[in-house]
Chain A
């Protein structure tokens, strides 16, 4: 659509601008303030330069949390994106079952995150949880509060349970919007199932897949509540992801300087990776 140039449009945007500025810029300035200064209370601040940044960037604690975060996000992306796509492809296109499927699949998305954590906590308990009991019944030693491996398995399974539906819904919406004419043309050409997927469905789904991957990347990189309720970052530090570590530092120990520096690094990593991914996908689309 051709847009008219009109500077008065700023008046329409002003409420949003003010509201988000109040919420984003003032707190961000606080973070920046803490990141470059040192305080011993009483509102006395001294300039500390990049001390906190160097401290965070060189601390093994940050490296470990970042590393765990990257592994976790990679695992859930590798599982959720293909799985979501496969389920969307297998879903009925019309009929009464469509809305039943949609409603049931959207259910996990609307459960408060702490309840998701609590639900999996109960579900996976080795003695009274259905999942934990079943796994132990199969002869596999499983206890997510004691074994890091079990904790990781439960965490990944919980995230797959919680978020695969988002990928399914996005892909499904993308699939439904492909006009029938495309399929008829493919039929005339005698295209097989794979060819239809590769040359018709996949290119049409590129846009929604980009959104799905971006959203899942951002949200899994920020995972906090579900993980804290499920394992509290343990056993040991084995499931302490970046957000959990940050909250421990800022609200638990009140190490404001390092916490602020870490916040800024954390935010920049997400922004940079999202931007990188987005530009790469868009460049692909142009070619």
Chain B
């Protein structure tokens, strides 16, 4: 039994090592990073973090990323709700084909869409706005949200709908006052995955923005290539991008297992 619990422990250690190294780097001075090999910072410094929180190109990157991630999450989940309801409750012409067509978009490589998206969003005048990225990310997030929500909704017995109508609820009244609270866990899981996939994606976000709406990830890659070896700064920026994700995981940890249990990811 002891031996068995060693396996997850070793795995978690393996997961934490590179993260530790990143955090370690972020508190070091450039001299220490390049000049010596130290397992923890000898001269502890907040210099890198101060730079990020005072330089607008850096902190705006975070704000821009959060803007399109939040816009995308709200948009994806709100259009997916009625669609998932339709898929879970009704049969209509072309329903199965539509469902699989939606899912096939999850298989489209972002690299294939990068250039056409650039042209499309330039043509409609949304280039370099958070909206362009938020809309582009719906390509893979909407199908995912529909898939997850449909799984949760199919688990709710139809009698709930019928009882509500007998009690005199109108459809919108029933949907928002009874149905949505019933599948709150599912909405939480769907929001989590939309947030996750929009937050981690870089290729489309980078292609669709230039200056005004540049996401943090793009600021980082530019720093990595242009100013040479500012590893401390890069490490600090990287460390900060882990924090929103860690928060989100902590809050939804009980729902995640449930969402995975439905096998809908």
B-binding residues in A (CB < 8 A): 1-10, 12-13, 15-17, 19-20, 22-24, 26-28, 30-31, 86-87, 90-92, 99, 101-115, 118-120, 122-123, 127-131, 133, 161, 164-166, 168-170, 172-174, 176-177, 207-208, 211, 215, 218, 221-222, 224-225, 229, 242-244, 246-247, 250-251, 256, 259, 263, 266-267, 270-271, 274
> Which 4 residue pairs across A and B have the least CB separation, nearest first?
A110-B245, A27-B116, A173-B260, A12-B86
Does the CB pair B109–A110 fall under 8 Å? no
With A110-B245, A118-B234, A215-B265 known as contacts, the answer to whether A102 contacts B142 (CB < 8 A) is no
CB contacts between A and B, total, < 8 Å: 273
Is B110 close to A, CB under 8 A?
yes
The docked-state distance in angstroms from the alpha carbon of A122 to that of B37 is: 12
Does the CB pair A161–B15 fall under 8 Å? yes
The docked-state distance in angstroms from the alpha carbon of A259 to that of B245 is: 34
- Give the distance to chain A from B61, nearest Cβ to Cβ, in Å: 11
The proximity string for B residues 235-260 relative to A, scoring 1 for CB distances below 8 Å and 0 otherwise, is 10010011011101110011011101
Does the CB pair B154–A112 fall under 8 Å? no
Does the CB pair B256–A106 fall under 8 Å? yes
A-binding residues in B (CB < 8 A): 4-5, 7-8, 11-12, 14-19, 21-22, 25, 33-34, 37, 39, 79-80, 82-83, 85-93, 95, 98, 102, 104-117, 119-120, 135-136, 138-139, 142-143, 146, 154, 157-158, 196, 199-203, 207, 216-217, 220-221, 224, 231, 234-235, 238, 241-242, 244-246, 248-250, 253-254, 256-258, 260-261, 263, 265
With A20-B139, A243-B109 known as contacts, the answer to whether A110 contacts B246 (CB < 8 A) is yes
Looking at the complex, which one of A104, A109, A128, A177 makes contact with B261 (CB distance below 8 Å)?
A: A177
Does the CB pair A229–B221 fall under 8 Å? yes
- Cβ–Cβ < 8 Å partners of A130 in chain B: 17-18, 21, 39
Looking at the complex, which one of A6, A115, A225 makes contact with B241 (CB distance below 8 Å)?
A: A115
Does the CB pair B102–A114 fall under 8 Å? no
Looking at the complex, which one of A133, A208, A259 makes contact with B263 (CB distance below 8 Å)?
A: A208
- Cβ–Cβ < 8 Å partners of A176 in chain B: 257, 261
Does the CB pair A6–B199 fall under 8 Å? no
- Give the distance to chain B from A284, nearest Cβ to Cβ, in Å: 16
- Cβ–Cβ < 8 Å partners of A263 in chain B: 109, 111-112
- Cβ–Cβ < 8 Å partners of B253 in chain A: 99, 102-103, 106
- Cβ–Cβ < 8 Å partners of A99 in chain B: 253-254
Does the CB pair A9–B92 fall under 8 Å? yes
Q: Name 9 A/B residue pairs within 8 A (Cβ), A-sorted.
A: A9-B89, A16-B83, A31-B112, A111-B238, A122-B21, A174-B263, A224-B109, A247-B203, A267-B107
Give the residue name and chain of the A residue nearest to B143 (CB).
Answer: A20
- Cβ–Cβ < 8 Å partners of A251 in chain B: 114-115, 207
- Give the distance to chain A from B200, nearest Cβ to Cβ, in Å: 5
With A23-B139, A112-B202, A173-B257 known as contacts, the answer to whether A87 contacts B8 (CB < 8 A) is yes
The docked-state distance in angstroms from the alpha carbon of A44 to that of B202 is: 32
Looking at the complex, which one of B79, B157, B249 makes contact with A106 (CB distance below 8 Å)?
A: B249
- Summarize A's interface: helix, strand, loop or mixed: helix
Does the CB pair A122–B22 fall under 8 Å? yes
Does the CB pair B15–A112 fall under 8 Å? no
Does the CB pair B19–A110 fall under 8 Å? no
- Cβ–Cβ < 8 Å partners of B34 in chain A: 128
Does the CB pair A107–B139 fall under 8 Å? no
Does the CB pair A12–B85 fall under 8 Å? yes
Does the CB pair A6–B5 fall under 8 Å? no
Does the CB pair B138–A19 fall under 8 Å? yes
Does the CB pair A246–B256 fall under 8 Å? no
The docked-state distance in angstroms from the alpha carbon of A266 to that of B25 is: 39
- Give the distance to chain A from B63, nearest Cβ to Cβ, in Å: 15
The docked-state distance in angstroms from the alpha carbon of A123 to that of B113 is: 31
Looking at the complex, which one of A23, A229, A243 makes contact with B136 (CB distance below 8 Å)?
A: A23
- Cβ–Cβ < 8 Å partners of A215 in chain B: 265
- Cβ–Cβ < 8 Å partners of A131 in chain B: 17-18
Q: Which one of B34, B80, B112 has the highest number of Cβ atoms from chain A below 10 Å of its Cβ?
A: B112
Does the CB pair B200–A112 fall under 8 Å? yes
Does the CB pair B18–A107 fall under 8 Å? no
- Cβ–Cβ < 8 Å partners of B257 in chain A: 102, 169, 172-173, 176
Looking at the complex, which one of B33, B115, B216 makes contact with A128 (CB distance below 8 Å)?
A: B33
- Cβ–Cβ < 8 Å partners of A17 in chain B: 83, 98
Add 5 more A-B contacts to A5-B91, A24-B108, A107-B245 (CB < 8 A).
A102-B256, A103-B246, A115-B220, A173-B258, A267-B109
